[in-house]
Chains A and B, each alone.
Chain A
C-alpha cells in the first residue's frame, strides 16, 4: 500500500530524514518509536503533504500512485489520514461545518452526491459515540479551547468520520489519561479492517498493549535503524534509546 524508498527530507536547508525505507501493507499495524527530534513527525507530515518540507531524494508510492505528485487534499481523498501531534485551533470554523465540507469534498472526489444534512448529523453522532466525544464539542470551533485530551480524541473522531485507508497517528496517545487512552485505542481497533492500515507514532509501550502492532520500528536520526515485532517495544522500554545509539 505504502512504499517509501531512500527518502531524504529537508526543512530550511537542514536534512531531517536521511535515507529512510519504510513500507506498509493492507491490514497491518505499524508502530514507530524513537527519541525526540529524530524526524517522526516530519515523516508523517511529508506523507500527508505538508508543503514546508522539501523532499530532496527518494520516492513514496501509495496504492501505485506517486504520492509526492499529489496535493495534500488529494492524498486525503485517496485515503490518507494524519492524526496531528499538535492539532490546530481554527477559530470561527465549527467542527460540524469542517467535517461536512471535508466529507462532501471526499464524496465528490469519489463521484458520490453530497450527504443530506440529516444523514450527516446522524452519521456524526454515531462516530462521536465511538470515541465518546462530547456532543457539545461539535458545535464549537475546530479545536478551539479544547483540552489536550479532547484534541486527541477529536483527531480519532475525524478519522472515524473519514474512514481512511492509511491512518498515521502521531502521538495520539500523549496527554491522554488511561481511560481516554483505552477509548482512543478502542476507536482505532473498531475501525481496523483487512483493507486498511495504521501507523502509530508513540513514545509509550503502554499504547501498544491496546493497539497491538504487527511491526515496531525505531526511527533514529532520520532513518529506521531497527525493525521487529511487538516485543521490540518492550525491549526498548527496558533498555532505552542508548541501546539503539550503540547499534
Chain B
C-alpha cells in the first residue's frame, strides 16, 4: 500500500486515501486529520480541473493525468547531505541549501536544523511535531481547500515538504535555497507541501528551484503557504527548469501583514506543462507586493501564470510585471486578477503582462482583470502580445549587426528587465546568462541544477551597462 503505481484517477485516489488513512499523519494533532478529510471531500466533489472551467481554459491536464505514476505516499527517508546530491553552479552564490528529493526532505544529521541566527529549516513532518503551535496557527489556513481541487488533493495527502520559520527580529543573513529535485527512473506523482513563516521585523531571501532530470513523466502538485509578519520582508525567487515530460503545478499563497513587503520573481526557463498560481492576500496596511515573472518557452511547452492580488486593507501597493517569449509551438497563458475591497482605500495596484511570439504557431492568452470596490485607488493594467519591433531590428542591422544578433539583443533586452529586478548579484548575473543561453537555444536540461550550464557562451552580451 505504501507507494502505488497507478493512474491518479479521482476514484482511485479516494480509495487510496481510505486505505492509507492510518498512515497519513502530520504532527500528533487531530486537527490535521480533520483538515485532510475535509480536503478529500472537496477533491471528491470537484475532481481534477478541466478545460470546461474558466480558470483552466488554457491549460489541459488531461494527458498528464492518464499516465500511471508511482504515487509517493509515505516519504522515503532521504538520508544524505543535500549539498552532495545537488551542486549549485551559481558562482559566489552563498546560500543555506536544503532540498526535497522526489517530494521527501533530504537530511543527514537532523530533519530540523536551527541556523545560527535562530531560523528553523526542516522537514515539514518533523517540524509539525516540534512546533505544534505554529502549525495549529498557520498550517492549512491560507490555501483554499474549499474551491481549489488541487490544493485540496495536496492537503489530503501532504506528508512532507520544507518548513521554514524565521523568528521575530531575525534577518537571515544568507539566502535560503530550497531545491525540489525529481529524479526517479520511473514516473512519479508527488505532492510537496511547504510552510514558510516569517515573524515580525524579520527578513528572508528564499530561492526555490524546481528541477527534474530523468526525462520520465512526473507530476508535481505543490502547495506552499507563506506568512509574512508585520514589517517583515520576503524576497522570493522561483526558478523553474523542468524537462519537457514534467507537469508542475505550484500553488503559492502569500499572506501579508501590516508594512510587510513581498517580492516574488518567477523565472520559467523550461518545462512541459507548468502552472504557477500566486495568491497574495494583502491583509495589512502599508504593505507592498511586487510580483514579477519571466517565461521563455519553446517546442510544445506550456506555461500558465495566474496572479491574484487581494487588497483587503488600505494604503498598500501591488505591482505585477510578467513577460514572456514564446517560440515554436509553445503556448503561454496569463491571468492577473486584482481585487480591491471596499475598505482598501488608497490602494495602488498595477499589472502588466507583455509577450513576444516568435512564430505564428506560438500562442498567448492574456487576461487582466480588475475588480475594484474602493473609490480612492490607483489601478492600471496592460497586456500586449506582439512580435519583435521591426523598426528596431532594422536600426540595429543598419549598423552592421546581423539578423540573429539583432533579434537576440532585442529579446534579451526584453527579458532582462525582469532579471534586473533580482537583488542578489550572483543570482542576477547567472539569470542573465541563463536567459542568454536559453535564447540562443543552448540551454537544455543539464545534469543537476536549474542553473547548471556547461559551456561559456561565445557571444557575450554585456549587461553591466544596460
Contact = CB atoms under 8 A, between A and B. Distances in A.
Interface in B175-199: none
A178 interface: no
Contacts of B400: 73, 76-77, 102, 105-106, 109, 162
Contact of A93 (B394, B398, B466): B466
Nearest to B402: A73
Interface string A73-97: 1011100011010011111111011
B91 interface: no
Most buried by A among B395, B414, B462: B395
Given A88-B392, A90-B392, A92-B416, A97 B409 contact: yes
B395 A96 contact: no
Nearest to B395: A88
Nearest to B414: A92
Contact of A73 (B392, B401, B466): B401
Contacts of A50: 394
A79 B400 CA distance: 9
Interface size class of B (residues with CB under 8 A): 20 to 34
A15 B406 CA distance: 30
B319 to A, nearest CB: 18
Contact of A96 (B390, B391, B401, B462): B462
B397 A91 contact: no
A71 interface: yes
Nearest to A92: B413
Contacts of A49: 394, 397-398
B402 A91 contact: no
Contact of B399 (A52, A89, A139, A162): A162
B157 to A, nearest CB: 44
B405 interface: yes
Nearest to B417: A92
Contact of A72 (B394, B405, B465): B394
A205 to B, nearest CB: 28
B410 interface: yes
A91 B398 contact: no
Contacts of A128: none
A71 B409 CA distance: 18
A141 interface: yes
B370 interface: no
A71 B466 CA distance: 28
Contacts of B389: 88, 90
A76 B401 CA distance: 8
B252 to A, nearest CB: 28
B403 interface: yes
Contacts of B67: none
Given A50-B394, A101-B405, A94 B399 contact: no
Contact of B395 (A81, A87, A100, A105): A87
Interface residues of A, number: 38
B462 A98 contact: no
Main SS class of interface, B: helix
A218 B397 CA distance: 29
Nearest to B411: A92
A91 B412 CA distance: 11
A200 interface: no
B350 to A, nearest CB: 18
A75 B395 CA distance: 13
A82 B394 CA distance: 11
B461 interface: yes
Most buried by A among B396, B414, B461: B396
Given A73-B401, A77-B400, A105-B400, A90 B413 contact: yes
Interface string B405-426: 1100110111011000000000
Given A92-B417, A93-B410, A105 B405 contact: yes
Nearest to B408: A101
A157 to B, nearest CB: 12
Interface in A145-197: 158, 162
B462 A100 contact: yes
Contacts of A97: 409, 461-463, 465-466
Contacts of A158: 399
A73 B399 CA distance: 6
A102 B401 contact: yes
A51 B394 contact: yes
A102 B394 contact: no
A84 B405 contact: no
A67 interface: no
Nearest to A138: B465
B399 A98 contact: yes
A90 B399 contact: no
Given A49-B398, A50-B394, A158-B399, A93 B413 contact: yes
Contacts of B465: 94, 96-97, 138-139
A82 B409 contact: no
A48 interface: yes
Nearest to A91: B413
B462 A90 contact: no
A62 B410 CA distance: 30
A73 B409 CA distance: 15
A180 to B, nearest CB: 21
B392 A94 contact: no
Given A73-B401, A91-B417, A158-B399, 14 more contacts: A48-B394, A71-B397, A71-B402, A71-B403, A75-B398, A76-B397, A76-B399, A84-B395, A88-B392, A94-B465, A94-B466, A96-B462, A101-B409, A142-B395
Interface of A: 48-52, 71-73, 75-77, 81-82, 84, 87-94, 96-102, 105-106, 109, 138-139, 141-142, 158, 162
* Interchain residue pairs A-B with the least CB separation, the first 9: A92-B413, A76-B400, A102-B399, A88-B395, A72-B397, A106-B400, A94-B466, A94-B465, A73-B397
